[in-house]
Each structure stands twice: as C-alpha cells, then as structure tokens.
Amino acid sequence: MKLFDVYPLQPVTITRAAGSFVWGDDGTRYLDMYGGHAVISIGHTHPHWVKRIEDQLEKIAFYSNSVHLPIQEELASLLLHISGKKNYQLFLCNSGAEANENAMKLASFHTGRKKIIAFRHSFHGRTSLAVAATDNPAILAPVNVTDAIIFLPFNDEEALAECFKNNRDEIAAVITEGIQGVGGIRVAADSFLRSIREHCDQSGALMIADSVQCGYGRTGNFFAHDYAGISADIYTMAKGMGNGFPVAGVLIAPHIKPKHGMLGTTFGGNPLACAAALAVLEVMRDENLMVNATTVGNYLMEQLRGIPSLQQVRGRGLMIGFDVPAELSGLKNELLSQTHVFTGEAKPSVIRLLPPLSLSLREADMFLQAIQSLLSNQPQPEN
C-alpha cells in the first residue's frame, strides 16, 4: 500500500537522534535547528524522558477516561506550578488542532455565542473550526467554510476595536498566537494582546491563547502571551509538551465551569502520554531550559542581526525568524544539503528556527558558522 502523498519530503532518511542532533541512514550527522516543527523541547531521546516512558509502559500504557488516572493529576499539578496559571483546569487531548477545536467549542458553550475573531496569517490546525480560523484558503475544504470566523489584521488595535463595537454581543472568543509561527514568526505586540484582553473583559468574550507552537517555554516564558502581562481564559498547548510523544492540552480558567460530557476524547490523557509530558516538565525545571532558551535565543538573534544579508531578525527565546532576499531563496535547502543543518521555512522567504530548548551556545555557534560559511561561499568548517 502506498502512503497518501501529502507531504513534500526533504531528501534525508533519519534513523536516530540525540540532543540537538539527528543522524541520516548514511551516518551523516545533522544539527536540528527546527525540532520537527518545534516539537523537540528537551532534546531528542532525552534519557529521563526515555526512562519515564519505559517505566510507565511496564505499569500501564492505556486506559480510557472512564476511570481515575492519578498520573493526570500529577501532570496537572506540575504544569500549573511551572506555568504559574494557578487554579486553571486541564483538559488533555492529542494534537494542537484538537486543543484549539475544544477551546473554541468551550468558548461557544460558555458564552452561548457563535462568532470567533481570528487574525490574518494565523495557523490553528486542520480540523473543522481550527482550519476555518486558519488564514489559508488552500487548506479549507468547502465543508469547512463557515461564517463563524471573523478575520482581522494582526496587531491592528483599531480594527479590533471597530469589530467589537459592531459585534459586541456575538463574539464568543478571540483566538491568537503569541507569536505567529507558520505565518512567519510575527510577534504579537504586547499592547495588542492587552487590548484583546480588555475587549474580551468588556464584552464577555473569552481570550484563547494558541500556545501550540509558541508556548511551553519556547520563548523563555512559559507562554509567549505572558510577555504582555495578561492571562488568557484558555491556553492551548501541544508541540513541545511531549517532546515528540503525541500529547496536547487545554488550560482553562477557573471561571469556566465543566459539565459531564461537554468535551471528550478516547486517547487524550492516557498514562503513557502523561508520563512523557511529566518527563518534559521535570527536565525543563531541573535543567532550567526556559532560562537557556532566553540566553541562547538572545545570543542567536544578536549574532544573526550582524549578518548583513539577513533581514528583520525577530522572535523571542528560541522561536526566531528572519527574511532572506530573493537571491537566497534556496538557503534552507543549502543549509541542509551543504552544512547539514535542519531549519524551517515560512512562505515566501522566511527562515524559521525552532531548535530544542536545550540548544547550547556551542551548538548555536555551529549554526552561525554554517550560515556564514554558506553566505560567504567559504568551505564549511568541520563540526
């Protein structure tokens, strides 16, 4: 049977990984500055993560949410401690799209309203409401078309105010990434996030912070939205949460009350996923990875700003993007084929860096040497 051919593939077959590196089937070592779409948070195959999953596997891998699973409470309590979102409630699920789908559904249940504000260049996932709130008509099937979503320009406080003025009692929620990832590493202005918070407070709408890519310590704060000094009503989390084990979650403010049957999933919150997620938080705490993300991220951005052909270096922590001029449009592929470095891309000409939060300064230097050697057409130094 053939695989359904929906993914454009890079010409590499990866067979093993450790820390910030992966190895191809021919033995070539690659520096991973992309973490498989921002998923690798504590480093590939971290020994504590492997051990915790192995230990759990020997106890029990799965039972459904029809019984008490204490490991879910253990995860909730560590998550609330590290995120600082005291008294929030946790709903566990399996992917970023599912987390956003549940967040928007919950906002609609809670408010009894039908409209969601989303922003230009957003990405929230590929399931029904999540894809409708994603600003990419190419991935919207006719069946996903809905008038429930109002798109506004990103970082435009006037447009936001105008929309709330005209639709005040209809808006169930505003959903926004703290830093748009797929959209090209565009940072939400602190004042824009505060303005969303105020409009939601005044109108009774909920603020949903899509933290699937920018959350979980990636920017140096647990949530990128924390930089604005506000709390959202709902946070969605996925990618870095399991370091590659599929697990996602929705953090829900205490004023939003649950009802039996309101949300649900078969696999979400299974003990194996919880063990992986707990291992991630334990390593983040014990190895101070949020501080590392800030230190190494700031260093990388400062050094990249010194490279004349790279424009508008931007981001926070280890969520970094920069524009490349048209003549460097092949940079991502050249970084991979010639210097053995994985990076990401956003259309039309943005390079995205989303490495493990454990990236060391030495590894950051390896990346900088690689990019400089390419840009100056020098032979690549040994790594």
Under the rule (CB under 6 A), what is the footprint of ligand PLP? 37, 95-97, 100, 123-125, 177, 181-182, 210, 212-213, 238
| Alpha-carbon span 215 to 199, nearest angstrom | 23
Which residue has its beta carbon closest to ligand PLP?
A: 96
Nearest distance from C-beta of residue 46 to ligand PLP, angstroms: 20
Of 302, 100, 78, nearest in space to 213 by CA = 100
Contact 69, 76 (CB under 8 A): no
Beta partners for 175? Answer: 208
Structure tokens at 156: 């435009």
> Judged by CB, which is closer to ligand PLP: 37, or 305?
37
Inter-helix orientation angle 289-305/271-286, to 10°:
70
Three-state secondary structure call for residue 341:
strand
> Judged by CB, which is closer to ligand PLP: 135, or 210?
210
| Alpha-carbon span 317 to 185, nearest angstrom | 12
> Judged by CB, which is closer to ligand PLP: 224, or 371?
224
Nearest distance from C-beta of residue 59 to ligand PLP, angstroms: 27
Of 142, 148, 136, 133, nearest in space to 101 by CA = 133
Nearest distance from C-beta of residue 208 to ligand PLP, angstroms: 11
Nearest distance from C-beta of residue 236 to ligand PLP, angstroms: 7
Contact 307, 375 (CB under 8 A): yes
Nearest distance from C-beta of residue 22 to ligand PLP, angstroms: 19
> Judged by CB, which is closer to ligand PLP: 125, or 217?
125
> Judged by CB, which is closer to ligand PLP: 79, or 371?
79
